[in-house]
Structure 1
């Protein structure tokens, strides 16, 4: 099948729901073969069935180095290389402001959102093709001072920093590294924030009130942005942060 990602091999972490699943569907539609990861086996298998073809689900936690090594062992055996990485796995981050945020909350957020991204890329280096593309999912939260989001926002600021450093480190191999920073997107991630459904709804209403386009984004819109960064359409683009937040940080 022809497409913008024809014959490309992609690894997408957090690919069982939300933005990651939408990216996986978009990439397959554009000709890629995708490996998707997630922590919950049933959800992962459901996602693979939704994608329908050219997909291998691999259960695992990006914060667990053994899981990452097993993931890339499977990729190496099945395909032998990686052309695209989308380091997307993350957990939500709302916590009591300031000193009230617990060490457990801090560690959980940084283990997945920051440590997980770092080692998702590090463990793939030996399999990365020259000219590969790496897309790191950050967040527009790293631009904003949102009460209760200190660990989450900082974890995503670190991801943004990774992109700059890796863009410099990998440039001689033609490997491009960029971040995608979504704004408020209609995904299940807020279910990991510890809020009740009513609290989540109220919080999201408050957030949407600050979006100039007047709505939450859709996972499919983020998938189109990720496709741009992953494909040759962005062949002269590296080290950037593509902010897709309805104008929230720009207007």
Structure 2
């Protein structure tokens, strides 16, 4: 991995950093010179990710929808490093049901993890962030597309995109930049899990690719590189945006 040290000396947090886009971004952050805290709900995945990331990373097990877990996370970061320069509020889930099948549990689970988790991750990080810090929140092209059976998931991502706009104005006196990143379909373990059996996953992905002008799924590292841009001084005059990294899927 090329090493331009765009985040040299920075301290970063990646929630949901054990697999997929979160792990790929944590790897990029480390390669760019940052010290990275990652979170995940499962200890085995957390341990495996830390093995991969090496000595410039530290893992804290927890669920972003649990405020006590978040308090513990930020207490650990404060004790170990004293501050944070970059927050990537990435943790999230995607579950799909047609409107007539939506249940209260389906609604609550996704809004708790995706929206409540993002809100309180960012809020509780604020005391540790210096002026001029960078916050990146994980939105999605589903906030802009009316994809079948994704109404609740899509609504959570639309909420996150809206939060980025408002927080940009809330935090402007501190020059904290807040941006949303919106991936298209990305080859990750999560994408395979959504689809069911390996054969169903193959069909699901083939169907998705038909809607992507670039004719392929994205790679997790392609999102990670865009997050590095938003986390670094390369984007010093960029705030409040939604950066689409989607092969053109929501653009044409």
Matched, 1:228 2:229: yes
Q: Residue 17 of structure 2 corresponds to which residue in structure 1? A: 15
The 5 A counterparts of 1:102-141 are 102-141=103-142
Partner SS, residue 6 of structure 2: coil
CA RMSD across the alignment: 1.3
The 5 A counterparts of 1:94-109 are 94-95=96-97, 97-109=98-110
The 5 A counterparts of 1:1-251 are 3-95=5-97, 97-191=98-192, 193=194, 195-251=196-252
CA contact under 8 A between 1:91 and 1:192: conserved in structure 2?
no
Segments of 5+ residues of structure 1 without an aligned counterpart are none
Query: Residue 203 of structure 1: CA displacement?
Result: 1.8
Mapped to 2, the partners of 1:86 and 1:185 lie a distance apart of 18
Mapped to 1, the partners of 2:225 and 2:161 lie a distance apart of 20
CA contact under 8 A between 2:6 and 2:33: conserved in structure 1?
yes
User: Residue deviations 1:45-84, cap 9 Å, x none?
Assistant: 1001101121000000000000000000000000000100
Query: Residue 191 of structure 1: CA displacement?
Result: 4.9
Segments of 5+ residues of structure 2 without an aligned counterpart are none
Mapped to 2, the partners of 1:214 and 1:58 lie a distance apart of 38
**Given the superposition, is the C-alpha separation of residues 104 and 192 from structure 1 closer, same or farther in structure 2, using an over 3 Å criterion?**
farther
Mapped to 1, the partners of 2:251 and 2:112 lie a distance apart of 30
CA contact under 8 A between 1:92 and 1:191: conserved in structure 2?
no
CA contact under 8 A between 1:179 and 1:239: conserved in structure 2?
yes
Mapped to 2, the partners of 1:132 and 1:32 lie a distance apart of 14
Mapped to 2, the partners of 1:146 and 1:153 lie a distance apart of 8
Q: TM-score, normalised by structure 1?
A: 0.96
Partner SS, residue 243 of structure 2: strand
Query: Residue 98 of structure 1: CA displacement?
Result: 1.1
Which piece of structure 1 moves more, 11-20 or 202-211? 202-211
Partner SS, residue 130 of structure 2: strand
Mapped to 1, the partners of 2:201 and 2:241 lie a distance apart of 31
How many residue pairs get aligned? The number is: 250
Mapped to 1, the partners of 2:85 and 2:22 lie a distance apart of 17
